[in-house]
Amino acid sequence: MFEIVRAPIDVAAVVDAVRAPACGGIASFYGIVREMADDGRAVEGLTYEAHEMMARASFIAIADEVRATMPEVRLAIVHRIGELSVGEVAVAVVAAAPHRSEAFAAARFAIDALKERAPIWKQERYCDGARAWIENRCAGELR
């Protein structure tokens, strides 16, 4: 499952897409719209835009990279576009593997690679009416 969607993401369906009897570990990452921007401004919501065909192709390429080093991993990536409100899921990355270590590693690699490579753009909408396009953070950046 590698999709760009306009409707709310069904996280249970994303998990179900990777479930398999051989997989004893499932790791997931859900990017949720926060109420506060990094600079402290109150956020009303986010607007995402994407080059849909290229974004989906980048999701597939990321999965291919994961499978090159961890062939038993099953991966799903779904990103929402359009206007989202605080609390809504913007992106779901779910990895299933025989063991938890591979599932965690695959999910982490996939979200970091997505942020770095996928042609998806995010605009913050602030409660004061202002808007700003936000640059994706570097892969693996910790705060």
Q: What is the pLDDT of residues 16-46, one digit of tens each?
A: 999 999 999 999 999 999 999 999 999 999 9
- The reported pLDDT for the residue numbered 135 is 85
Residue 37 domain-assigned (yes or no): yes
- The reported pLDDT for the residue numbered 71 is 97
Residue 76 domain-assigned (yes or no): yes
- The reported pLDDT for the residue numbered 104 is 98
Residue 103 domain-assigned (yes or no): yes
- The reported pLDDT for the residue numbered 136 is 75
Quote the tokens at residue 101: 């270590």
For residue 23, what is the domain's CATH number?
3.90.1170.40
What is the residue range of 45's domain? 2-131
* Number of domains within the chain: 1
Residue 120 domain-assigned (yes or no): yes
Question: In this structure, how many other beta carbons lie within 10 angstroms of the beta carbon of residue 9?
Answer: 20
Q: What is the pLDDT of residues 64-113, one digit of tens each?
A: 999 999 999 999 999 999 999 999 999 999 999 999 999 999 999 999 99
Tell whether the model's pLDDT for residue 143 goes beyond 80.
no
- The reported pLDDT for the residue numbered 78 is 98
Residue 87 domain-assigned (yes or no): yes
